[in-house]
Structure 1
């Protein structure tokens, strides 16, 4: 509040200074007009008007001078009286039609600066401020010898009007003060209070006084003082501080109250927004994340009792439908896998079985009893495994046993065939789709080794790194063409491996291990083909 008080004092002092400067400027303007009259050549003619031949000419000249003097009042706000005296011949001209030439009265009121005098005006004694311009100036003390005297005067009523206009809209009062005279005030001022205030400041040097607070009785007032240099009076303004500060304090309190109310309403709105919007959105986001992570059984039980209730009901309905759809699709996939496996098992090459029976017959005729026993044993194990449908997956150990039986049988057919199988023990118990390796090995025999001239070799081995399991099946037989490799690599469903479509094997591998699993075909250095089968370690389907 101290800063506010200082700001009010500064603004009020500016207003008082402005009024003081305005009055001073008007007084200076009046004096300038009087001085210009004293220097005017036409006005100077009053000194020689007695030389005119007759009274008519003299009166005509006086009227012309009077008209010129009245023109000065037209341009000003104050109805100022101008009088021009020529003591040498006793002539004078005045804008006051009731004025008379009285040298003794002129001597009484003569003054080179503005002073308050009691002057008869229209037969009535008035308090008027008066100032004279004497030509030449040296005759100011003996005016009867002066060539020309210009008198300018105005009543105190004009200053009262200025003070009344200044008070409009204000809360204090303003008055003019000179220790030699009674104060000049506006029409509504409390004179008792003014005299009481003057008694408090009578010993203060008002010329150096700055706007500040003063106590009058039990009440504080803001007192502002400005001197009017041309007049020699002080313009004093006083404003009750409580009346000035009260509306500001009321506005301040209203502002603080409004801010507090807005803060409370904001907190309430924030709480309602959190409870009715943010919290339900958070619940919805968490359940959507659970749904995204595969928890299709998630449901929203929270009931905010607003529009979100409808949204949550629709979410629960959607989650239920998704769960049912997933279960349906999953069951369909299992059935599809089972159907594909049964189809694969039914597609076992019958020519292989016929060739085996023909070979057994030949071995029997040759009396190779042990060979017949061994071949029959491997053939029975081979078909027992391929025709079993109780499980969709098998361990790598079971798959290796299957291809060992198959390759042993093929050794009876192809005398120049040999094979090697190397598989680390930690991979033997891994689960893979059934009949995953045998079709690829069979393809290597039929297309790579069977028509190959020379010793044929089939190798099955594995490697592994930090992220994947890898099984490599390679042969040194007849290599595939670049077009065949490209078609196989693109997964062309028209390309068959031992009667089984490649995309069947690829799909079963990806179905169990994900999209990162797959088969790669490429040429083997030195001839033949290399098939690389891989799947990620972190997939739950590999355990």
Structure 2
């Protein structure tokens, strides 16, 4: 069935097109959503990391403020002015007061810290845990008025900051504040609990402070990128670590002068989007399955029955009246299939009835045609016998009467319209013998293969043609006539040619006689022998009739051809 006529096919195509358009639109929308959500996630993570850096800076700034508060304490100034290497009882009291205030100030911070006092003039140091001398050279090497990352002899790390310049030895008091890097580790661990990443504080070089579960190998890769690109401020970038794609967020801690960084696998960052996309694809897959199921049901329940009905109609139109629909759709089409089979059966019955009536009509017509031939030939023969009797040629008349009796016996057997070619040729020979008895102005030759003699042909198909040769071919030219009858088998059937050396016909005459035998005989027309033969050949054979052409003998050639007989 052509596509333009296949409505079900159009519906199927429309469903697939709608599904395809929906998928394309979703892909476009999903990509836009991924970009927007990814930007939002990146901005959110960076904002969260910046807030975390602010918390660290606040804690560090609080320690700086405590150092300033301590530097303005009067008891510390009194102790610094009166302190000596051999302390008196009053000096011990002042020292105890200073230590208590150091402990109080350290306790006000959430972070564990330590404040240390240095007396450059006397070379003494005081803290909550020690009192004694210190090495001025060591103090010069570690001094800084900014927070500096330090590593102790025992491997511990800490940040330290000095309030006064230790190079100026005339300074009465130098304050140092220290806090352990473990404070930052604890905050990193707390931050990591609510994060999918692994935050760390990049101090510089190869030094960093990470959580207790920090992956040093991955952090080294991130620090290489941070150091190599000279990143500062805040931002994010993507990088490959251990064959996996990561997104790195970083921001600067202004108080410590270090970068706070966090790296997260990109897959984890986009996991909500990927999960949503996978759910959509699963839904689209289910929808596609439903669409295919609907298409299959439409094809099975609608398209296939319609195609079978169309095929059945085409079979009936081509003449296959026995064709029936054996498929049972088990739906509304089942009743239609039953009615189609009933209709086909009724059509077959009616056609067979009409066919049988046509056969009977054709047989009646053939017998009528034969009856039209018989009086014509009988009239001519009796007229000749009369002349022979008048001329007192009794022997010729007797021979003609005998031939006429055999001929009449042949044509009056009306129960059979077919005879063997041998009998037909024998009867033609008797007819020509009768004509030769009348006039010895021609002779005839018959050349038919032996295998054709038993061929069944309609009665009286050759005699009217040889009669036409004698009446129109020879008399008009007043010459000695020759008639040749030949037969041959062809691939489609048989062909019998009758040649004469008469006057022949022009091309327009050949076309005229061809047209004449193809149309109904006109009322009152007396000569219709060739038309009679042609019509009977048309009725008896699927392809048959008469053909006219110039004869090699110089006259006219008439070819009687027939293929497979009709049922």
Identify the TM-score tier after normalising by the shorter chain.
0.5 to 0.7
Deviation at 1:378, TM superposition (A): 1.5
**Structure-2 residue corresponding to 1:297:** 322
Deviation at 1:540, TM superposition (A): 4.9
**Structure-1 residue corresponding to 2:214:** 200
| Mapped contact 1:479–1:523 kept (Cα < 8 A) | yes
Deviation at 1:198, TM superposition (A): 7.5
**Structure-2 residue corresponding to 1:488:** 513
Counterparts in 2 of 1:298 and 1:351: CA distance versus 1, 3 Å: closer
Alignment partner of 1:512 out of 540, 547, 554 = 540
Three-state SS of the structure 2 residue aligned to 1:448 is: helix
Counterparts in 2 of 1:317 and 1:429: CA distance versus 1, 3 Å: same
**Structure-1 residue corresponding to 2:248:** 224
| Mapped contact 2:452–2:488 kept (Cα < 8 A) | no
Distance between the aligned counterparts of 2:216 and 2:555, measured in 1?
127
Deviation at 1:421, TM superposition (A): 1.6
Counterparts in 2 of 1:315 and 1:333: CA distance versus 1, 3 Å: same
| Mapped contact 2:198–2:214 kept (Cα < 8 A) | no
Deviation at 1:199, TM superposition (A): 7.6
Alignment partner of 2:555 out of 528, 532, 536 = 528
Alignment partner of 1:438 out of 452, 463, 470 = 463
1:50-71 alpha-carbon deviations (Å, 9 max, x no partner): xxxxxxxxxxxxxxxxxxxxxx
| Mapped contact 1:480–1:523 kept (Cα < 8 A) | yes
TM-score by length of 1: 0.55
Counterparts in 2 of 1:354 and 1:504: CA distance versus 1, 3 Å: closer
**Structure-2 residue corresponding to 1:144:** none
Three-state SS of the structure 2 residue aligned to 1:296 is: coil
Across the two proteins, how many residue pairs are aligned to each other?
370
1:225-252 alpha-carbon deviations (Å, 9 max, x no partner): 4466999532423559897465345335
Deviation at 1:471, TM superposition (A): 0.9
Distance between the aligned counterparts of 2:216 and 2:307, measured in 1?
77
Deviation at 1:526, TM superposition (A): 5.0
Distance between the aligned counterparts of 1:535 and 1:417, measured in 2?
29
Deviation at 1:503, TM superposition (A): 4.8
| Mapped contact 2:247–2:265 kept (Cα < 8 A) | no
Deviation at 1:379, TM superposition (A): 0.8
Alignment partner of 2:368 out of 343, 346, 353 = 343
* Structure-to-structure mapping, 1:368-447, within 5 angstroms: 370-447=395-472
**Structure-2 residue corresponding to 1:500:** 528
| Mapped contact 1:16–1:235 kept (Cα < 8 A) | no
Counterparts in 2 of 1:364 and 1:527: CA distance versus 1, 3 Å: same
Distance between the aligned counterparts of 2:356 and 2:215, measured in 1?
107
1:341-378 alpha-carbon deviations (Å, 9 max, x no partner): 23222323646434433443554577655534432222
**Structure-2 residue corresponding to 1:107:** none
- Which runs of 5 or more residues in structure 2 are unaligned? 1-33, 51-145, 149-166, 168-193, 227-237
Three-state SS of the structure 1 residue aligned to 2:482 is: strand
Distance between the aligned counterparts of 1:301 and 1:351, measured in 2?
58
Deviation at 1:501, TM superposition (A): 6.4
1:126-169 alpha-carbon deviations (Å, 9 max, x no partner): xxxxxxxxxxxxxxx9xxxxxxxxxxxxxxxxxxxxxxxxxxxx
| Mapped contact 1:474–1:529 kept (Cα < 8 A) | yes
Counterparts in 2 of 1:259 and 1:507: CA distance versus 1, 3 Å: farther
- Which runs of 5 or more residues in structure 1 are unaligned? 1-6, 24-114, 118-140, 142-169, 181-194, 215-220
Distance between the aligned counterparts of 1:173 and 1:350, measured in 2?
121
| Mapped contact 2:322–2:348 kept (Cα < 8 A) | yes
| Mapped contact 1:439–1:500 kept (Cα < 8 A) | no
Alignment partner of 1:360 out of 360, 365, 385 = 385
Counterparts in 2 of 1:202 and 1:513: CA distance versus 1, 3 Å: closer
TM-score by length of 2: 0.53
Deviation at 1:458, TM superposition (A): 1.7
Distance between the aligned counterparts of 2:239 and 2:260, measured in 1?
15
Three-state SS of the structure 1 residue aligned to 2:211 is: helix
Three-state SS of the structure 2 residue aligned to 1:302 is: coil
Three-state SS of the structure 2 residue aligned to 1:347 is: helix
1:61-92 alpha-carbon deviations (Å, 9 max, x no partner): xxxxxxxxxxxxxxxxxxxxxxxxxxxxxxxx
Counterparts in 2 of 1:480 and 1:12: CA distance versus 1, 3 Å: closer
| Mapped contact 1:493–1:502 kept (Cα < 8 A) | no
* Structure-to-structure mapping, 1:229-268, within 5 angstroms: 232-237=257-262, 244=269, 246-248=271-273, 250-251=275-276, 253-255=278-280, 257-258=282-283, 260-262=285-287, 264-266=289-291, 268=293
Distance between the aligned counterparts of 2:212 and 2:274, measured in 1?
30
Distance between the aligned counterparts of 2:482 and 2:519, measured in 1?
28
Counterparts in 2 of 1:314 and 1:392: CA distance versus 1, 3 Å: farther
* Structure-to-structure mapping, 1:65-144, within 5 angstroms: none
**Structure-2 residue corresponding to 1:95:** none
Alignment partner of 1:320 out of 345, 350, 355 = 345
Distance between the aligned counterparts of 1:358 and 1:243, measured in 2?
122
Three-state SS of the structure 2 residue aligned to 1:520 is: strand
RMSD of aligned alpha carbons: 4.8
| Mapped contact 1:171–1:244 kept (Cα < 8 A) | no
Distance between the aligned counterparts of 2:200 and 2:331, measured in 1?
73
Three-state SS of the structure 1 residue aligned to 2:214 is: helix
Three-state SS of the structure 2 residue aligned to 1:348 is: helix
Distance between the aligned counterparts of 2:39 and 2:213, measured in 1?
23
Distance between the aligned counterparts of 1:512 and 1:207, measured in 2?
106
Distance between the aligned counterparts of 1:463 and 1:240, measured in 2?
95
Deviation at 1:474, TM superposition (A): 1.5
Three-state SS of the structure 1 residue aligned to 2:368 is: helix
